[in-house]
Amino acid sequence: MLDFEEPSAQPPAVRPLKPIQIGPITIEAPVILAPMSGVTDMPFRRLVKKHGASLVVSEMIASQAMVRECRKTMQMIQRSEAENPMAVQLAGCEPEVMGEAAKLNEDRGAHIIDINFGCPVKKVVNGHAGSSLMRDEVHAAKILEATVKAVKVPVTLKMRMGWNHENLNAPRLAKIAEECGIKMVTVHGRTRCQFYEGQADWSFIRNVKNAVTIPVIANGDINDFPDVIKALEMSGADGVMIGRGAYGRPWFIQQVMDYLRTGVIPKAPSLQHQVETVIEHLESMLEHYGSHAGLRIARKHIGWYSKGLPKSSEFRDAVNNVDDASKVRELINGFFFPLLEKAA
């Protein structure tokens, strides 16, 4: 929430990003919102898009659930015109089901289908989906091919470096993906066995970039402006995908885009704008999910928005212990408005 300060050390030279082509879709500034389960729902995507992002990606959707049209899943894939162009990410282990789920999403207005070969969560991996597919390149190719053939919209792929450091096969799998018709590859600079431990290896992503001619996007640990430059320089990637760096900062992706154009590190939006964004986000979630579920899901976002501000810990504890939306609104006003008065 606080304004960014100029770093004491001079950051590496800015390399302005060139537009990338994903099939017929042009992304003018490839700084992309990553798919994050429980985070990149329609209210958050719409807010990030409103702040200027070129491309946003949905939460990971289980292809089996999509085909069965589970109520929760159908809510997860809801989209608005304000998000265009928007990508839906699918996970699954059955080529035919993945193809069917992709076609259903295309019919519902998705502009891009993204395939998940990167999720490290045990529940997903034990179902032979997500990063588990990196261990079976033949079966992975069947899934890629079936999904591409099922739709007319472009299909992209998100994966990790490999299953573990003994099996770093992302460059080879990226080449297979390109041959299957995949139009862009995003690489998280960790293995599955690392989960989210350690530091993302942006330099390894250069091996993927050298293996294919389609756009390659770097992902993992891109949380501030120097990270963006280092990730691009070390990976040689065509763009970056930002996940946790956007927590509580739906404007961050636009800031990165501006930074890469100008070389000037921008300050955060005014506190007034931030407060208005918190309130807008809360109301959007209450409308989307209903009062009870919306408030429960909104709590983490409200906590992220308040991070770094005075007495934010006490504020978060209070929000987490209230089950009435009107009381949460009162807590937000009581927390932020004294700060606004002080800043005036």
Residue 115: predicted pLDDT: 97
Give 305-314 pLDDT, tens digit per residue.
999 999 999 9
CA dihedral 318, 321, 325, 330 (to 10 degrees): -20
Give 285-306 pLDDT, tens digit per residue.
999 999 999 999 999 999 999 9
How many other C-beta atoms lie within 10 A of the C-beta of residue 2?
Answer: 11
Residue 75: predicted pLDDT: 61
Q: What is the mean pLDDT of residues 32-49?
A: 96
Residue of higher predicted confidence among 262 and 78? 262
DSSP letters spanning 81-113: GGG-SEEEEEE-S-HHHHHHHHHHHHHTT-SEE
94 contacts: CB under 8 Å, gap ≥ 6: 63, 64, 143
Phi and psi angles of residue 311, each rounded to the nearest 5 degrees, phi first? 60, 30
3-state secondary structure of 324: coil
- 72 burial class (0-12, 13-18, 19+ CB within 10 angstroms)? exposed
Give 144-157 pLDDT, tens digit per residue.
999 999 999 999 99
Q: Retrieve residue 152's tokens.
A: 């007319």
Whether the pLDDT of residue 15 is over 90: the answer is no
Give 44-88 pLDDT, tens digit per residue.
999 999 999 999 999 999 888 777 766 556 566 666 777 889 899
Whether the pLDDT of residue 5 is over 70: the answer is no
Phi and psi angles of residue 282, each rounded to the nearest 5 degrees, phi first? -60, -50
The identity of residue 292, as a single letter, is: H
**For residues 249 and 217, what is the distance between their CA atoms, to the nearest angstrom?**
21
Q: What is the mean pLDDT of the chain?
A: 91
59 contacts: CB under 8 Å, gap ≥ 6: 35, 36, 37, 38, 39, 40, 41, 76, 89
How many other C-beta atoms lie within 10 A of the C-beta of residue 55?
Answer: 29
Give 199-230 pLDDT, tens digit per residue.
999 999 999 999 999 999 999 999 999 999 99
Whether the pLDDT of residue 195 is over 90: the answer is no
Residue of higher predicted confidence among 65 and 19? 19
**For residues 287 and 275, what is the distance between their CA atoms, to the nearest angstrom?**
19
User: Which domains can be identified in the chain, with CATH numbers?
Assistant: 20-262 (3.20.20.70), 271-343 (1.10.1200.80)
Give 109-119 pLDDT, tens digit per residue.
999 999 999 88
Please give the positions annotated as active site: 119
Q: Retrieve residue 333's tokens.
A: 């006003």
3-state secondary structure of 270: coil
Residue 7: predicted pLDDT: 41
Q: What is the mean pLDDT of residues 169-183?
A: 98
Contact 144, 85 (CB under 8 A): no
Confidence of residue 252 (pLDDT cuts 50, 70, 90): very high
**For residues 52 and 274, what is the distance between their CA atoms, to the nearest angstrom?**
15
Q: What is the sign, positive or negative, of the torsion defined by CA atoms of 281, 285, 291, 297?
A: negative
Confidence of residue 16 (pLDDT cuts 50, 70, 90): confident
Q: Retrieve residue 132's tokens.
A: 């588990």
Q: Is the peptide bond before 85 cis (omega within 30 degrees of 0)?
A: yes
